[in-house]
Structure 1
Amino acid sequence: MSSNGDTVPVPTTGPATTPPAGAPAEPPAETPAQSEAAHPTQPVTTPPAAPPAQPVTPRRRWLSILSAIMIVLGCVLVPVTATSFWVRGTITDTESYVAVVGPLASDPQVQTAVEEQLTARVMTELTQLDVIGALTEALVAQGISPELASSLSLLQSPLQDRTEALVRRVVDRIVTSERFAAVWTNANRIAHTQLIRLLEGDTTVLTQQEDGQLVVDLSALSSTIRTALENAGVPGASLLPDVAGAVVVGDGTRLTQAETAYRLVKGLPWVLLVVTIALIVIGVLLARRRWRASMLTLGGVLVAALVTIVAARVGADYAISGLEPANRGAAGSIVEAVTDRLRQILRVIGWLALAALVVTALTGGGPRATALRRSVGDTASQTWSAAVAWRHTPLVAGAVALVCVVVMLAADLPVGVSIALVAVVVIAGTLAWRSTRPSEVTG
């Protein structure tokens, strides 16, 4: 009712209905606000729609195949290129070679091998001179009794032992002197010149023993040894002929197997370097997923460097395996010193590839890189049991591979251990790569 007494009609939404007598009353209808309060709704989250996959055209497929081929060839050529620079800088250059093997004049195994050989040769010559026998015959000719002559012959064995000890001391003094170092350096310079001519196909100038072994000729020490033995009072020293000493450095029949490889790489280091870099760079640029291609390329270069380090040690062992055990010590020292520079080059390549691989893995874009970084972050904040779960397998396997790589690059290991570590690196690296699932990023 209004203030002036008029009656205001009340609007209705429809005709009023009166329930029949005895019928139960219907509950009042809920308003939208009451319904929302009684039954709150949950927000519905819709996962983001994945972008539609782009169809791979035949041209794109062929470019991907070409990219893979170029990357594989580039990784294979990395150790070949390193070897070519090593051949040019150490094997073909005489002064560089002498600079490497010259310090081996003070190597204990080289000195021992030279001492044993020179002592044996001097004693062989003295035995052939038969100083005691000649002295006995001269005394008999002068009229001494047979009994006295027989007594003199009994002195031959102890005198020979004392003579050998004296000869060994004299030879040891010479081998540890500056004179030996000078002769050793000059002999290696001559031997290297002959080795190069062998690798170039000329076998007529190579100093070899009768069984075809390659030697470093030390006959320049003959006059020094003879004079020193005379001064030491060794009987018959003045009658000694030239005592030719030599250090066996390899099997000539096996070294000739390197002739083809030597000719192949000696003049191509810079060409190989340009080709290798071009193959790797173009291969990565042609790839459809360049981050993935970069990771695989760096991993391939790293594995190639590790495998070649092991191959260098296997090759060094093979080069001296055909020698007599007495010659393997000195020959092993020489081969080890010569191939050490190659292993250093490969280690530098390995360290660079490893650093680039880690940086690329942690800073690259794309779902795999994001999944890897998420695995690292989650593992840093969770317990070990969670860290070794399947979603963290990339981190665990990658850590195993990383430790093995660092050990191989930092230390010289036995061949068997090195081969085992290379296998672990390949398996763990593959597992880390395959278990990095991009789908985890959206989880």
Structure 2
Amino acid sequence: MSPLLRRTLSSVLLVLACLVAVVAVLGAWADRQLLNTDNWVDTSSRLLQEPAIQDATAAYLADQLVDGPTIQAKLKDGLPPRLQPLAAPLAAASGEIAERTARRLIASGAFQRLWRNTNRHAHEQFIEIVDGNSRLANLGVVIDLRPQLGVLATRLGVLPDATGDHGTVHVLKGDNLKTIRQVVHAVRTLRWVSIVLLIVLLVAGVALAPDRSRGIIYAGVALLIAGLLLLVARRAGGNYVVKTLADSGTDEPAARATWSIATSLLHDIAGALVVLGVVDIAAGWLAGGTSWARSARRFTAPALIAHGGLVYAGVLVLVLVLLAAGLLPAAGQLWAILFYALLAAAGVWALRRQVIREAAGLPPVAPPVAAVP
């Protein structure tokens, strides 16, 4: 195979790897943050820590309590017949009191536990529906805030059981569920397929490159570009979503906080992909034929030749530090930890072999093919 054809095939494979990396990260984010019940409950708890979300939740609970007939009827019963027409205005005025009380209630540990339980139940409903529970599919996903509304009613001296159906929000029902079920199944399938395909494309792209060190650099560039594309897309998508929700009447700070927290894992994985790309570029440069790379290899040669075990241990510690800091993709997965450890060991082995041959004055095992003009 001619060097030109190998370079062309390598470039095509690495461009495809860049695109597949984007799909793989999106699939991992959706599967881990949106489709995992425990992670979703944690995300919803983080959402409730945001002042904008607290304000929106307090306003909703107060509106649900005041808009119902309970408070108005209670006021009407307690007023003289001549003043009973004032029951409706007084009930509306009580909304501000209810909202202030709801804000204090949201900060309590009891409300936080109710909130977690509500979101856990709603997400478990969603997963069951996605997995084919036809009975729940007819009802849709129900976010039941009646327990929270009941606590608020008790704080205000209203009978908790008099709130009726207020506080129940029905979402994702009918045709929407069919579409979402298809999307979820596609995400679950594409996640693992895309990860395997990404590894195959990167390995093949580097293997076909006429200059392996440049192939590693270009693979790093592909990962770097994929990570940057995801970060830019998250920011642009967030601006679009927030603007759309704000135009439809949603509180803008609450919408922005929701987007930021709901896509926090996407941000972390994309950032980790950028770090991995930079590490690949640095590794490819160190193995390259530039004068600076050769100087760097000569500088590290004594340690690589005489203290190979310490070098392996040092690189392993560095990988563990990057994993502990969450700076590499899928840092919490056992398979990823093993993969990075083996990859780092293979890199040290190849670099050490190259340095030993250069120190002995031997030619490289696979000399770079001269560039074709």
Shorter-chain-normalised TM-score: which range?
0.5 to 0.7
User: 2:143 is matched with which residue: 202, 212, 216?
Assistant: 216
2:20 alignment partner AA = L
| SS of aligned partner of 2:250 | helix
Structure 1 residues 252 and 352: alpha-carbon distance in aligned structure 2, compared to 1, 3 A threshold = farther
Rounded Cα–Cα distance in structure 2 between residues aligned with 1:59 and 1:299 = 24
Structure 1 residues 69 and 166: alpha-carbon distance in aligned structure 2, compared to 1, 3 A threshold = closer
Rounded Cα–Cα distance in structure 1 between residues aligned with 2:226 and 2:172 = 27
Aligned match of 1:54 = none
Rounded Cα–Cα distance in structure 1 between residues aligned with 2:194 and 2:85 = 71
CA contact under 8 A between 2:65 and 2:166: conserved in structure 1? no
2:229 alignment partner AA = V
Rounded Cα–Cα distance in structure 1 between residues aligned with 2:175 and 2:256 = 17
Equivalences for residues 41-52 of structure 1 within 5 A: none
2:201 alignment partner AA = L
User: 1:108 is matched with which residue: 51, 62, 74?
Assistant: 51
Q: CA deviation at 1:238?
A: 7.4
CA contact under 8 A between 1:249 and 1:334: conserved in structure 2? no
2:203 alignment partner AA = V
CA contact under 8 A between 1:133 and 1:153: conserved in structure 2? yes
Rounded Cα–Cα distance in structure 2 between residues aligned with 1:227 and 1:288 = 74
Rounded Cα–Cα distance in structure 1 between residues aligned with 2:173 and 2:55 = 20
Rounded Cα–Cα distance in structure 1 between residues aligned with 2:245 and 2:135 = 22
- 1:78 pairs with 2:21: yes
Equivalences for residues 120-269 of structure 1 within 5 A: 120-126=63-69, 129-131=72-74, 133=76, 149=82, 152=83, 156=87, 159-160=90-91, 163-197=94-128, 199=130, 205=136, 216-230=143-157, 240-242=162-164, 244-245=166-167, 259-267=181-189, 269=191
Aligned match of 1:20 = none
Aligned match of 1:326 = 250
Aligned match of 1:4 = none
User: 2:288 is matched with which residue: 344, 364, 374?
Assistant: 364
2:110 alignment partner AA = R
CA contact under 8 A between 2:70 and 2:162: conserved in structure 1? no
User: 1:352 is matched with which residue: 266, 271, 276?
Assistant: 276
1:163 alignment partner AA = S
Asked which structure has the greater CA Rg, the reply is 1
Q: CA deviation at 1:109?
A: 1.8
| SS of aligned partner of 2:143 | strand
- Larger CA deviation: 67-76 vs 259-268: 259-268
Q: CA deviation at 1:261?
A: 4.5
- 1:87 pairs with 2:9: no
Rounded Cα–Cα distance in structure 2 between residues aligned with 1:124 and 1:241 = 10
Q: CA deviation at 1:134?
A: 5.2
Q: CA deviation at 1:67?
A: 2.2
Rounded Cα–Cα distance in structure 2 between residues aligned with 1:238 and 1:69 = 64
Q: List runs of 5+ in structure 1 lacking aligned partners.
A: 1-57, 141-148, 375-408, 410-443
Tell me the alpha carbon deviations over residues 104-157 of structure 1, each in whole angstroms, 9 at most, x when there is no partner: 333212211111011112221248845555566xx55xxxxxxxx2xx368557
The TM-score with structure 2 as length reference comes to: 0.63
Rounded Cα–Cα distance in structure 2 between residues aligned with 1:329 and 1:105 = 13
Rounded Cα–Cα distance in structure 1 between residues aligned with 2:280 and 2:34 = 31
Q: CA deviation at 1:99?
A: 2.3
CA contact under 8 A between 1:94 and 1:193: conserved in structure 2? yes
Rounded Cα–Cα distance in structure 2 between residues aligned with 1:207 and 1:192 = 16
| SS of aligned partner of 1:325 | coil
Structure 1 residues 249 and 358: alpha-carbon distance in aligned structure 2, compared to 1, 3 A threshold = farther
2:108 alignment partner AA = S
Rounded Cα–Cα distance in structure 2 between residues aligned with 1:207 and 1:264 = 22
2:281 alignment partner AA = L
CA contact under 8 A between 2:65 and 2:149: conserved in structure 1? no
Structure 1 residues 335 and 257: alpha-carbon distance in aligned structure 2, compared to 1, 3 A threshold = farther
Q: CA deviation at 1:260?
A: 4.4
1:92 alignment partner AA = L
1:353 alignment partner AA = G
Rounded Cα–Cα distance in structure 1 between residues aligned with 2:51 and 2:161 = 31
CA contact under 8 A between 2:227 and 2:273: conserved in structure 1? yes
Structure 1 residues 155 and 274: alpha-carbon distance in aligned structure 2, compared to 1, 3 A threshold = closer
Equivalences for residues 302-321 of structure 1 within 5 A: 302-316=224-238, 321=244
Rounded Cα–Cα distance in structure 2 between residues aligned with 1:67 and 1:165 = 65
CA contact under 8 A between 1:248 and 1:331: conserved in structure 2? no
Q: CA deviation at 1:362?
A: 6.1
Tell me the alpha carbon deviations over residues 355-376 of structure 1, each in whole angstroms, 9 at most, x when there is no partner: 33245346621xxx459999xx
Q: CA deviation at 1:163?
A: 3.0
Aligned match of 2:267 = 343
CA contact under 8 A between 1:247 and 1:331: conserved in structure 2? no
| SS of aligned partner of 2:123 | helix
Rounded Cα–Cα distance in structure 1 between residues aligned with 2:2 and 2:127 = 49
CA contact under 8 A between 1:75 and 1:300: conserved in structure 2? yes
| SS of aligned partner of 1:364 | coil
Aligned match of 2:212 = 290
| SS of aligned partner of 1:216 | strand
Rounded Cα–Cα distance in structure 2 between residues aligned with 1:243 and 1:178 = 25
1:91 alignment partner AA = L
CA contact under 8 A between 1:217 and 1:247: conserved in structure 2? yes
The TM-score with structure 1 as length reference comes to: 0.55
2:118 alignment partner AA = A
Equivalences for residues 1-80 of structure 1 within 5 A: 59-80=2-23
Q: CA deviation at 1:215?
A: 6.7
- 1:97 pairs with 2:40: yes
- 1:277 pairs with 2:199: yes
Rounded Cα–Cα distance in structure 2 between residues aligned with 1:168 and 1:269 = 43
